[in-house]
Amino acid sequence: MRAIGVRRIELSGRFPLPKEARKEISINHEDRVEFFTDEDNIMVMKYRERCCICEENFDVKLIKGKQVCNDCLEGIKKGC
């Protein structure tokens, strides 16, 4: 992770995401982002749907209206 810019927070709490950051992770107008925090930091990530079983947000597919990751899908196929 590297510093990519400094922005001032508006009175409303809004702040613009630097164009370079949006371009780097392919965030476009109307895309959703997700915020994570720890004691001193806020991290912004491109929003990805989460698996309805394990909450993983990588390699998730829509199966019969439910978001399921590949690991859980393989587990279901094996009867685990």
- Site residues (vs Zn ion, CB under 5 A): 51, 53-54, 56, 69, 72
Nearer to Zn ion, 17 or 53 (CB): 53
Nearer to Zn ion, 27 or 69 (CB): 69
Question: What minimum distance in Å lies between the beta carbon of 51 and Zn ion?
Answer: 3
Using H for helix, E for strand and C for coil, what is the string for the chain? CCCCCCCCCCCCCCCCCCHHHHHHCCCCCCCCEEEEECCCCEEEEECCCCCCCCCCCCCEEEECCEEEEHHHHHHHHHCC
Question: What minimum distance in Å lies between the beta carbon of 66 and Zn ion?
Answer: 10
